[in-house]
Amino acid sequence: MLIVMEKNATPQQIDAVSKMVEKRGYEARPIPGGDRVSICVLRNKGAVDTASFIGMAGVKDLIPVTRPYKLVSRESQSEDTVIQVGDVAIGNGHQTLIAGPCAIEGEAQALTIAAKVKAAGAHMFRGGAFKPRTSPYSFQGLGVEGLKILAKVRNDIGLPVVTEVMDLDTFDVVEEYADIIQIGTRNMQNFSLLRRAGRSHRPVMLKRGMAATIDEWLMAAEYIMEGGNTQVILCERGVRTFVHHSRNTLDLSAVPYVQKESHLPIIIDPSHAAGRRDQVIPLARASAAVGAHGLMVEVHHQPDQALSDGAQSLFPDQFEKLCQQVRHISDLF
C-alpha cells in the first residue's frame, strides 16, 4: 500500500505515520516526490488494514499497490525518475548516449575511442574491465588496470564512465572507479550482487537477463531499490530466441511496457541485441523512435582487432551518423 501524504504534511506527521506502519509489523519507506511525500508499505503479506491510517494527521490518500514490485512500480511513484551523473541526466526528456568499446584493452585504445565518441556526441563512455566471457580462454578484461584507464578517460576526456561489475569480490573496487555500475545480463538474477548494489551510492545499470521476463527484470530492480539505492537504470539488450539472423532479438515493446509499469529510466543496447554491425544503426533509430531514454553502443576504432565483440562494434564515423539520426528522431517528441 502507498500512503500519500498531504502537500503540507510536516516531518513529524510523516514520522508518526511511518512509526504506525512499523507498529503494524511492516516496513515504511518514505518516497519524496515533486510536491508531496508518499510512504510505501513493504513486507506486508496480503492487504494492509487501512483503518489505522485513515484518520492520521497529514494523510491524504491510501492507495493499494497491486504489483509484486513495489518501489519500482509507477503505482508508488508517478513521476519519472531522472538520474543525474555530473552534468549528464538519464530519464524523462533526455536522450543519453553512452558509447565505447566492449572491453578496455589499453590506455591508447580507450583514450582514442573516448575522444572520438565524445566528438561524435556521446555523453558517457562505456568499457568493461571485468568481462563475463562465454569461454574461459577468451580475453577476460584488464581488471583493476582497466578501471584505472577508465579513471584516466574521465579525467582527460571528460566523460563519466560505465563499467560492469561481475562479482562480490570486486564490487568495492568497481564502485570506487565507476560513475555507473553495470550489472550484465548473466548476473541479472545474482541476488547477492543485487543486494550489494542496493547498498551502493552509485547509480546501477541493470541489463535484462537474456531469457528474463519483464516481471523478473523489474523484481531484480526491486532488490536494488529495496536495499536503499533508488538510482536504477534499466537496459534492454535483446533476449534469446530461435533466430540466427541476429545475436539476440531486441524487444522494443519492452520500452512502452516498462515505461507504463515503472518510473525508472530505460535505455537500449542495440549492439548486444544485433551482434552484427549492419543492424546497429537501424535498431538504434528504432530505439529512439519507441521512446527509450538513451542508448548504449559499442564503438571501436579498429573493430577487426578488438579483443571482444568486434563484429558488433561500430566505426567511430558510423557512431557519429547514429548520433545525428537519433537526435533527429528524439527531436520529434
Q: Measured at CB, which residue is nearest to ligand PEP?
A: 184
Rounded to whole angstroms, the Cα distance separating 121 from 266 reads 20
* 300 binds ligand PEP, rule: CB under 6 A: no
* 272 binds ligand PEP, rule: CB under 6 A: yes
Q: What is the closest distance, in whole angstroms, from the C-beta atom of residue 186 to Mn ion in the complex?
A: 12
**Three-state DSSP class for residue 254:** helix
Distance of CA 22 to the CA centre of its chain: 31
Size of the site for Mn ion (CB under 5 A): 2
Q: What is the closest distance, in whole angstroms, from the C-beta atom of residue 145 to Mn ion in the complex?
A: 19
- Footprint (CB under 6 A) of ligand PEP, residues 122-151: 128, 132
Rounded to whole angstroms, the Cα distance separating 102 from 128 reads 6
* 209 binds ligand PEP, rule: CB under 6 A: no
- Footprint (CB under 5 A) of Mn ion, residues 90-119: 102
* 237 binds ligand PEP, rule: CB under 6 A: yes
| C-alpha cell belonging to residue 8 | 503540507
> What one-letter code names the amino acid at 320?
E
Q: Which residue of 309, 313, 318, 323 would you call a contact of Mn ion, by CB under 5 A?
A: 309
| C-alpha cell belonging to residue 328 | 533527429
Q: Which is nearer to ligand PEP, 128 or 270 (CB)?
A: 128
Q: How many CB atoms lie within 10 A of CB 60?
A: 13
Rounded to whole angstroms, the Cα distance separating 182 from 276 reads 22
Q: What is the closest distance, in whole angstroms, from the C-beta atom of residue 8 to ligand PEP in the complex?
A: 45
Q: Which is nearer to ligand PEP, 102 or 225 (CB)?
A: 102
In sequence order, which residues have a C-beta less than 8 Å from that of residue 170 and are 6 or more positions away?
130, 143
* 190 binds ligand PEP, rule: CB under 6 A: no
Cα 95 to Cα 177, 184, 253, 266, 320: the distances in Å are 24, 21, 18, 10, 15
Q: Which residue of 141, 184, 265, 316 would you call a contact of ligand PEP, by CB under 6 A?
A: 184
DSSP structure class, residue 228: T
- Footprint (CB under 6 A) of ligand PEP, residues 98-127: 102
Binding site for ligand PEP (CB under 6 A): 102, 128, 132, 184-185, 207, 237, 269, 272
